[in-house]
Amino acid sequence: MLLVSYHAGMAWSDEQVAGLRSELARYDRPIKLSLDFLDAKNVQPLPGYLEKIEDLLLTKYGLSPPRLLLATDDDALDFALRLRSRHFPAVPILFSGVSGSRRASLQAEGNISGVFDDADESQNLALMLRLLPRTKRVVIVHDQSRTSLAQVASLAPALALHPRLQVEHLTRMSVQEVQAHLRALSETDLVLALPFNLDAQGRVISHEEASELWAAAAAAPLAVTRDVSMRPGVLGGYLITGRQQGEVLGRLALQVLQDQRADDLPMLAGLGEPTFEHQQLRRWGIDAAALPSNAVVLHRPADWWADLRPYLGWLLSLFGSLLVIIALLVNGIRLRHRSEQALRQSTQNYLALFNGSSDAILVRDGKSLAIVDVNPRFCSLYGYSPAEALLLSASQLSDEANLYTGEMITERINKARTEGPQFFEWRSRRRDGSHFWADVSLTSFKLPKGERIISTVRDISDRKQLETQAQAFQHQVKQIFQNLPVAVFVIDAQHRVTFWNEQMTRLSGVAAKDIIGSQEAWRGIYPTARPCLVDAVVDGLGVENLTQLYGDQLRSSDEVLGAMEGESYVPALGERPELWLRFCAAPLRDEQGQVVGAIETVIDVTALKRTQESLLMLNQQLEARVEARSQELELAMEQLLQADKMAALGSLVAGVAHELNTPLGNVLTVATTIADASKTFGQELLGGRLRRAEVQASLDQLHDASLLIERNAKRAAKLVADFKQIAVDQSSTHRREFALRDLVNDTLSMLSSSHLLGQVQVQVDIDPGIHLHSFPGPLEQILGHLLTNSIKHGFEAQAEGRITIQAQAQGSAVSISYADDGCGIESAALRHLFEPFYTTRFGQGGSGLGLYIVYNLVTSALGGSIEVSSKPGFGCRFDLNLPLYMESRSSGI
């Protein structure tokens, strides 16, 4: 029973059937050959269709098993395996026209043999690249049939040997689309036409029709793999013929009919014959002399000079020999002497190059392929002695565990004989069992002693490791951008989206798979199509060209050439609320500095905008309150100045100048810091210098600053309402329980945000278990004054300094020690240190009230005591003793 995958009239199938019949005709007994077509090119072989064909054949032939199941091409083979498994379990199967990629699975089936139709794709590609050395791109035309996909898979290793070649697949297209692509090619392209019988629109075409369509459109050389595809306009290649496939199938069938088991018959590889068209050779400038010696050239015109040329050479040689024979006899001795001398010199030169080469060299006998010589570098690289090397086989020098076999080396040697020198990468094995990557070249030489195969081996393990590291680094960079806490996307020079990270998906609601490859980067951000900032960067537009889209919210980056940044209000879209977004886009350039794309970061600053609006409103309210109280403050100032300076200044300066101005100043300082930090963060992110840890640190800093603004703003609001009573009675300040260590750290954080501390290091050594039930406000003011005093006076002449704050609980009190390593205080000044208006910087901006305020806060507000000690050049120390529990305040400051 013969099963044919396709339909009658298809040249490929008809040729296989004809070749099979021609071989079966030589059998000495009549053979009844039943022939059935599956018509798989016109009807997709789905399970339901195959069930009907199976029922038809069983109805037609019954359940009596055939002597032999024959199948041409993959679909018929699959159907034959189905029939055997269901109805004819012991019947042998022979096949032709099947992809060689199925060899392993078919051997596992058992009781089966046949011939594969795979041309040697690597051999075909190598021949074409040798004939067309200017080729830069290989364009592969194929459909999605099993046969085509199998040939594509077998071609992949050959393409991998040529990493500089560009590869393009024309598949899942209509005939018109394929032709349009082929028309756009140039003479530096090479078209490999694989089976294409069904296009994207469902049109069924034969091998012959496909070749004629591609040849009519292709502006580049067109190579094919089957003889039925050899049509006018096709250059050629190693061709598999349907008749040859059928003849091999027939010969295998005769052996089975003569009682040989199918398992004992080898599965044969298809043999391609190099075939070319004369006119196409001339069109693409290919010399016929460069073709393989067994190549067939179709339509070559008769050339009488070419027919005569072999005899003319013989005649000329004969006459030339007669003319020079006398001269040769006369000069024979002299020439022989020179030849021997030249031979000796050549031998010396060869040995010097051979033994001094930095590459390993081994010489094989062309007939037995046994190693006959190796150089010293081979011995050092592989770890064998010269004597041991002569006994090695190709398998022993190869990493066979990873499919680098000795048989593959033999195939390469055969190619070196027929096609010229071979260059490839190889996994080699040393004597100790270790492996390394190598660049290998194979060259065949004809010598008087016979053919020799010269192999050179260069260790490229370091290069391979660098390539692996580069790939890992590329993956790592992609992962970094994918996992950034900032939305990022990238477009190319054609405005196609090439990267869209997870944060961008969360922000826009558009998944990466839905937008990558499109030119719609605006989706998920804007309700209608409009250019994004990256589009403007790719097009080379400046800020002045984008006023209509961004108003005055856009500016050029000071950090990155050609980059732009700005903010924009985005209205609500679907379930997404309205947003304020900060954009920053920068160009991506190639090695020549040309713009090849752009990257954009998108940050949701809606919360920041709302905070800024709240701060603005709060500042306006505070300014109104301050203005409303300014007249009362001026009147109080006049009255206090006329009174006792000690009481007036202690009350007014401590209560107003410090209690009020400090929190307001902190609010403005931290707000300014937020703006600067946000700008710096965006610029550094755009420049690609930020690591994930730095991004997190910036976000933490912004969060801490926001909390400080809120706390100081609330404190300022309360202080403004109560400042009248600060001069006489501070009891209106809330008393509460607090941790001393937390209060000190909060005060230091506030000063750090305003950059007051600079290079000064502050060390805090306070037990977290010390709690006070007292007034935290005055204690914060005390610490602020002491720190300010150290920085402005103690470290005035120093770039750096150290401050130590310690505390210990002593019964119902706590002892606080504040010390710096500044310039210290003269002994004459110590006795006046807590007096009002006393300053060592008179006329330089010092008021002389800072430590006076500290003294009043400690003794009056907190009910404690303070002492100072200092020595010039050894810093200054303040010791405070405060009660842990304050009942009430005895008097104002």
Residue 657 is given by DSSP the state I
521/149 Cα distance (integer angstroms): 35
Specify the pLDDT at position 135.
93
212-217 contacts: CB < 8 A, separation 24 or more?
Answer: 213/175, 213/178, 213/179, 214/141, 214/178, 214/179, 214/182, 216/179, 217/178, 217/179, 217/180, 217/182, 217/183
Query: Do 402 and 430 meet the contact criterion of CB atoms below 8 Å apart?
Result: no
Look at the block and give the residue holding tokens 């004629």.
212
**Segment holding 814, helix H or strand E:** strand 813-820
Residue intervals in the chain for CATH 3.40.50.2300: 2-116, 121-238+271-298
566/682 Cα distance (integer angstroms): 10
Chain-centre distance for alpha carbon 204:
40
Measured between alpha carbons, how far is residue 464 from residues 425, 460, 530 in Å? 10, 6, 46
195/306 Cα distance (integer angstroms): 37
106/564 Cα distance (integer angstroms): 62
CATH of 357-459, one of 3.30.450.20, 2.40.50.140, 3.90.1300.10, 3.40.50.1370: 3.30.450.20
Averages of pLDDT over each 10 residues, the chain, 893 residues: 90 90 88 90 86 89 89 92 91 90 88 83 84 93 86 85 92 94 94 90 88 93 88 89 89 91 87 87 90 86 58 64 71 72 70 83 89 91 90 88 85 89 91 92 85 91 86 80 85 91 86 89 82 85 76 76 81 79 87 88 86 87 80 54 41 49 77 80 74 79 80 70 40 73 85 69 92 89 88 81 93 94 87 78 63 87 91 91 79 42
Look at the block and give the residue holding tokens 């069904």.
198
Specify the pLDDT at position 184.
94
What does CATH list as the number for 121-238+271-298? 3.40.50.2300
Task: Tell me which fold the domain 733-893 belongs to.
Answer: Heat Shock Protein 90 (3.30.565)
Specify the pLDDT at position 103.
86
Look at the block and give the residue holding tokens 């309360």.
718
Q: State the angle between helix axes of 304-330 and 332-356 in degrees (0 to 180), rounded to the nearest 10.
A: 110
744/756 Cα distance (integer angstroms): 15
What does CATH list as the number for 474-598? 3.30.450.20
**3-state DSSP assignment of residue 602:** strand
Residue 658 is given by DSSP the state I
Query: Do 660 and 723 meet the contact criterion of CB atoms below 8 Å apart?
Result: yes
Q: State the angle between helix axes of 406-419 and 121-131 in degrees (0 to 180), rounded to the nearest 10.
A: 30
As a whole number of Å, the CA-based R_g of the chain is 46
Judged on CB neighbours under 10 Å (0-12, 13-18, 19+), 830 is middle
287/283 Cα distance (integer angstroms): 11
Of 116, 107, 112, 119, which Cα lies nearest the Cα of 154? Answer: 119
Q: Beta-carbon neighbour count of residue 414 at 10 Å?
A: 14
Chain-centre distance for alpha carbon 51:
48
Kindly report the backbone phi and psi dihedral angles of residue 439, in degrees, each rounded to the nearest multiple of 5, phi listed first.
Answer: -90, 125
Tokens of 884: 């842990």
Cα torsion 347, 353, 356, 358: sign: negative
**3-state DSSP assignment of residue 771:** strand
Burial 434-452 (b: 16+ CB within 10 A, else e): eebbbebbbebeeeeeeeb
Residue 434 is given by DSSP the state -
Task: Tell me which fold the domain 2-116 belongs to.
Answer: Rossmann fold (3.40.50)
Sheet holding 360-365, edge to edge: 371-374, 360-365, 450-459, 435-447, 422-429
Specify the pLDDT at position 176.
94
Strand positions, DSSP E, 204-301: 222-224, 236-239, 273-277, 296-298
Strand positions, DSSP E, 68-206: 69-72, 93-98, 112-116, 137-141, 166-170, 189-193
Q: State the angle between helix axes of 73-86 and 47-61 in degrees (0 to 180), rounded to the nearest 10.
A: 60
Render 461-505 in DSSP notation, one character per residue.
HHHHHHHHHHHHHHHHHHHHHHT-SSEEEEEETT--EEEE-HHHH
729/889 Cα distance (integer angstroms): 8
